[in-house]
């Protein structure tokens, strides 16, 4: 199981990137995202997408970052903080692949020093500055046992049929109606 912890989100400034962190985590097979800031709109937005596109990805708004990390570790989980200062991902992959309960932390603005101490690993996706979305995606892809791009999503109202040209989406209207009645 993989969960993502998003730190340092500033409402307005980071809303798009944080939404992309959540959607990328979901698309690549994470079970949920913890958001260490209060921005309920992000949660609502991603949950609404999950309702339409399937799976059961969760978002938890306004968590305490240190509590969430310590709770996770107390449950036997390990924590991988993504930072350009860490050990390079290719060197960490063998160890990360062994984990069956992994929290991946990504920052926004400057990440507090405490996080570097609490993390089991500080891992760089190359030691050059880039993006939390890219860092998360590459990490999840490299540590996956089965190709995360080929895993189907259960209970989807919308499913894309891949094609070379054009767009085709299958709509499950029965499921749409059922979801509507439940909410």
Which spans of this chain sit near ligand SAM (rule: CB under 6 A)? 82-84, 106-108, 110-111, 124-126, 128-132, 135
Q: Minimal distance in Å, beta carbon 134 to ligand SAM?
A: 7
Q: How far apart are CA 44 and CA 50, in angstroms?
A: 10
Q: Minimal distance in Å, beta carbon 41 to ligand SAM?
A: 21
What's the maximum distance between 2 C-alpha atoms anywhere in the chain? 50
Q: Minimal distance in Å, beta carbon 132 to ligand SAM?
A: 3
Q: Which is nearer to ligand SAM, 46 or 82 (CB)?
A: 82
Q: Which residue is closest to ligand SAM by CB? A: 107
- Contact between 128 and 84 under an 8 Å Cβ cutoff? The reply is yes
Strand partners, 171: 158
Q: Which is nearer to ligand SAM, 41 or 130 (CB)?
A: 130
Q: Which is nearer to ligand SAM, 26 or 54 (CB)?
A: 26
DSSP state of 144: -
Q: Minimal distance in Å, beta carbon 139 to ligand SAM?
A: 8
Residue in this structure with the two tokens 């050990």, named with its chain if needed: 87
Q: How far apart are CA 113 and CA 19, in angstroms?
A: 25
Residues 6+ apart with CB under 8 A from 111: 7, 8, 81, 83, 105
Q: Which is nearer to ligand SAM, 144 or 158 (CB)?
A: 144
Helix (H) or strand (E) holding 91: helix 89-97
Q: Which is nearer to ligand SAM, 118 or 175 (CB)?
A: 118
Q: Minimal distance in Å, beta carbon 120 to ligand SAM?
A: 15
């Amino acid at each position: 199981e993989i969960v993502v912890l998003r730190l340092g989100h500033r409402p307005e400034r980071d809303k798009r990137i944080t939404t992309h962190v959540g959607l990328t985590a979901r698309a690549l097979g994470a079970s949920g995202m913890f958001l260490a800031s209060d921005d309920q709109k992000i949660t609502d937005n991603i949950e609404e997408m999950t309702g339409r596109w399937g799976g059961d990805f969760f978002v938890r708004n306004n968590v305490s970052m240190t509590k969430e990390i310590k709770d996770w570790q107390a449950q036997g989980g390990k924590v991988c903080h993504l930072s350009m200062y860490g050990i390079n991902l290719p060197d960490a992959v063998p160890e990360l692949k062994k984990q069956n309960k992994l929290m991946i932390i990504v920052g926004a603005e400057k990440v507090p020093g405490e996080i570097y101490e609490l993390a089991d690993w500080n891992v760089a996706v190359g030691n050059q500055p880039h993006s939390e979305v890219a860092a998360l995606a590459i990490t999840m892809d490299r540590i996956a046992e089965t190709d995360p791009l080929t895993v189907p999503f259960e209970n989807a109202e919308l499913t894309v049929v891949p094609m070379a040209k054009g767009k085709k989406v299958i709509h499950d209207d029965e499921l749409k109606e059922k979801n509507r009645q439940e909410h």
